[in-house]
Amino acid sequence: MAVKAYDLTGRTAFVTGAASGIGRASALLLAEAGATVHCADRDARKLHETAALIKAAGGEAHAYELDVADKEQIDRAVAQAAAAATTGTGSGTDTGTGTGTGTGRLDIMAAIAGIMHSGPVLETREKDLDRVLDINFKGVLYACQAAARAMIEAGTGGSIITMASGAVDTGGPGLLCYGASKAAVVQLTKTLATEVGPHAIRVNAVAPGWIRTPMTERHDSQAQAHTEEVMTRMAPLGRVGEPDDIAHAVLHLAADASSFTTGQILRPNGGVAMPW
Ligand code: NAI
């Protein structure tokens, strides 16, 4: 028997980073739970693949090719997604260049797009820091702002989910830019939760442990094997994560099942870190 508190039928979701890894798994699962999913990513080919996978499974999906670090592109796409929910129409393969009205309905924002960066503090250049903060922090901020505005305007409440990282719990060499961007995401999550709670909008972060995705696979294979081995040893559950492990955390935070949860960090990490 399906649990009603996880049923997203009739809801509209916007997912950034939907072309790959955790974003794709989340988009697919939200669609499986019944939501119409507006998928956004800069990788056009894989983005349209995700939308096609959702449609092939009987769901409804729309695709927006965009750069999350570009505020105008995000604003336009989110407004377009919300407007489509009001009118019941979506243009199917949008490019992020359409004209949204800014009114309409958006129930769920999952701001998942992000990049990895690794390098010692003493070798960190300003341009590395700027690039990581532009995508991992500002990109999430712009998505949150656009979503919260649409939700407040619609007056229907909503759930915003950001993607932090276990890096903020564990630290580690080379994690300056990436960890700083994810720490900023945590602060954004807590601050926004306090500001939009009165509008019945919940804001929570997911801080995954090591998950097997194209991002982690981009590490050279020896380093990856070593990190996987270390993470597996550190985890009480004795394994690293899969994208679906995180998609289920996203679904939980998106759904009514978590209706009393806001300003929190959910840590699907196999038990690697157990902060208070
Ligand atoms: P991935 O590389 O498989 O997917 C990331 C997606 O974001 C890609 O489709 C990429 O095209 C998109 N993207 C990157 N920059 C973009 C931009 N400027 N505009 C639009 N789209 C952009 O990576 P993965 O592993 O699925 O990561 C997803 C999120 O989860 C990231 O925020 C990452 O930091 C976070 N995370 C991942 C962990 C892991 O072990 N894989 C652990 C903790 C957090």
Concatenating the DSSP letter of every residue in 125-153 gives -HHHHHHHIIIIIIHHHHHHHHHHHHHHH
For ligand 1, atom 41, the nearest C-alpha belongs to 211
Provide the domain limits for residue 64. Answer: 4-266
Cα gap 14→143, rounded to integer Å? 9
Q: Positive or negative CA dihedral for 106, 116, 262, 70?
A: negative
In a domain, 275, yes or no: no
In a domain, 273, yes or no: no
In a domain, 177, yes or no: yes
Is 6 in the active site? no
Q: What is the CATH number of the domain that holds 129?
A: 3.40.50.720
For ligand 1, atom 32, the nearest C-alpha belongs to 114
- Can you give the pLDDT at residue 217? 85
CB 246 within 8 A of CB 267: no
Q: Is 18 in the pocket of ligand 1 (CB under 6 A)?
A: no
In a domain, 69, yes or no: yes
Which ligand 1 atom is the nearest neighbour of the CA of 212?
A: 41
In a domain, 199, yes or no: yes
Q: How many CB atoms lie within 10 A of CB 82?
A: 27
Q: Give the count of domains, the chain.
A: 1
Going from the Cα of 276 to the center of ligand 1, the distance in angstroms, rounded, reads 26
Residues 48-104 have pLDDT tens digits of: 999 999 999 999 999 999 999 999 999 999 999 999 987 554 444 444 433 444 457
In a domain, 276, yes or no: no
pTM over 0.85: yes
Using only C-alpha atoms, the chain has a radius of gyration, in whole angstroms, of: 18
In a domain, 274, yes or no: no
Which ligand 1 atom is the nearest neighbour of the CA of 243?
A: 26
Residues 195-223 have pLDDT tens digits of: 999 999 999 999 999 999 999 887 656 67
Candidates 195, 199, 202, 206; CA nearest to 168 is 206
Mean pLDDT of the chain: 92
Across the beta sheet with 265-266, the strand order is 60-65, 36-41, 12-16, 108-111, 158-163, 201-206, 265-266
Best residue for ligand 1 mutational test, from 28, 46, 115 (most atoms within 8 Å of Cβ): 115
Encoding tokens for residue 246?
């995180």
In a domain, 185, yes or no: yes
Report the run of H or E that residue 234 belongs to, with start and end: helix 221-234
Q: Is 115 in the pocket of ligand 1 (CB under 6 A)?
A: yes
CB neighbour burial string for 159-192, b if at least 16 within 10 angstroms, e if fewer: bbbbbbbbbbbbeeeebbbbbbbbebbbebbbeb
Candidates 56, 109, 135; CA nearest to 250 is 109
Q: Is 179 in the pocket of ligand 1 (CB under 6 A)?
A: no
Which ligand 1 atom is the nearest neighbour of the CA of 19?
A: 9
Candidates 217, 86, 110; CA nearest to 158 is 110
